[in-house]
Amino acid sequence: MSVNERATRTLREILQNPGNDLCADCGAPDPGWGSCSLGVFICLDCSGIHRNIPDISKVKSLNLSHWEDHEVKFMAENGNKLMKSKYEATVPVYYYKPTRKDCQVLREQWIRAKYERKEFSEPGQSFAYEEGMYGILMKRGRDNGQFLSRRFVLSEREGTLKYFTKYDAREPKAILKVDTINATFQPEKIGHPNGLQITYLKDYSTRNIFVYHDNGKEIVDWFNSIRAVQLHYLKVAFPGATDGELIPRLTRNFLKEGYMEKTGPRQTEGFKKRWFTLDHRRLMYFKDPLDAFAKGEVFLGNKDHGYSVTTGLPAGTYCNGAWQHGITIGTPDRCFLFTCETESDQQDWLKHFSDVMSAQMSPQEYTMEALFKHRPG
């Protein structure tokens, strides 16, 4: 057996230790790479980010690279569990820990924050973004689609996010209450690797704001600052709730987005292609993915309260579109008819709709349902 074969076999044995079977940074299973300077096992995608910080992390393939004996010994003495206790010792509860499904900027800044800036290694560390932020973000114009610099102010004390059309303007263009905000990274949709979509409620309807910052750390700091301010607001509003109960109510990724065709309320109109966003119990549809306002929204309640989803369309439905894979959503007020381009897309939407309708509703979701029923037509 060669030296490298022996090293590979030993590394495979070390991988069996608790915590080493998942990537130390994103949780992906079966990591095939290791940082021989940090002592962690990581996946292929995260290894690419580690290569961008060569002064901190030296990465090697577990199968293809040559490992020195002292490097193998270092991996055995450390490993993911021990290194997490060191580099993630003081991660704030609101801080978003990315998964393998998250975009590059979230994963890169998480890795840099841990190992390069060592933000979470020292006890009692304070974070500049903990009580809010202010600064310039590039914001997409609602009508012309151009990105222009706008001043944003996020205030923990006021529980608001404001933006101003001019840097020295005294009155904000809009005031967003943090309890109605969601924020999710959308680099492909926005066309920028640091693109962030912020949604909020305005006059009972969902409004979209699309922003970015060229500095990856800056935009991720804004994202986590929104989460920090939201958690502060929720702790004041619900003083008896635990962090575990409140964290799921901070920013969240959309369950699914994509195109479907839909018909109107009389179900005699032609089917039209629309962009759909499923944000937990709110199904919103837009003419274009970057529209500021939804053309309409559907609230998806619990299946025991008059909500249902079925495959196909009602008999006799006039279907003029090219897409034939139908979905029917029933609510206490009316039915909504959709068609998907492919059967796999139809089945994916059906699964998400069914999962949402099977979940029990929280008191806040009952309040949201009431708002949907009583909002102006």
Q: Would you say residue 376 has pLDDT above 70?
A: no
Helices (H), the chain: 3-15, 44-51, 69-77, 80-87, 104-111, 187-190, 216-237, 243-246, 343-358, 363-374
Summarised one tens digit per residue, pLDDT across range 77-103 is 999 999 999 999 999 999 999 999 999
Where does the pLDDT of residue 142 fall: very low under 50, low under 70, confident under 90, or very high at 90 and above?
confident
Angle between helices 3-15 and 69-77 (to 10 degrees): 10
- Which range has the worst mean pLDDT, 84-98, 158-172, 343-357? 158-172
pLDDT > 60? residue 351 = yes
pLDDT at 372: 77
Q: Taking residues 274-290, what's their average pLDDT?
A: 94
pLDDT tens per residue across span 33-90: 999 999 999 999 999 999 999 999 999 999 889 999 999 999 999 999 999 999 999 9
Strand partners, 202: 205
* Mean pLDDT on 351-359: 96
Q: Are 184 and 257 in contact (CB under 8 A)?
A: no
Specify which residues 149 forms β-bridges with.
Answer: 138
Compute the mean pLDDT over every residue in the chain, rounded to the nearest whole number.
Answer: 91
The owner of tokens 């003495």 is 77
**pLDDT band with cut points at 50, 70 and 90 for residue 228:** very high
Whole-angstrom Cα distance, residue 313 to residue 206? 28
Task: Give pairs for 166-171: CB < 8 Å, separation 24+.
Answer: 167/136
pLDDT tier, 1 (very low <50, low <70, confident <90, very high otherwise) = very low
Region 316-332: mean pLDDT is 85
Q: Which domains does the chain possess? A: 3-116 (1.10.220.150), 133-246 (2.30.29.30), 256-374 (2.30.29.30)
| Distance (Å, whole) CA 261 – CA 284 | 13
Give the predicted TM-score (pTM) of the model. 0.90
CB 257 within 8 A of CB 335: no
What letter represents residue 115's amino acid? Answer: Y
Between residues 284 and 321, the one the model is more confident about: 284
Single-letter amino acid code for the residue at 210: F
- What is the model's pLDDT at position 76? 93
Kindly report the three-state secondary structure assignment for every residue of 3-35.
Answer: HHHHHHHHHHHHHCCCCCCECCCCCCECCCEEE
Model confidence at 19, in pLDDT bands (50, 70, 90)? very high
Instruction: Extract the runs of DSSP E, i.e. beta strands, from 213-316.
Output: 256-262, 272-279, 282-286, 296-299, 308-311
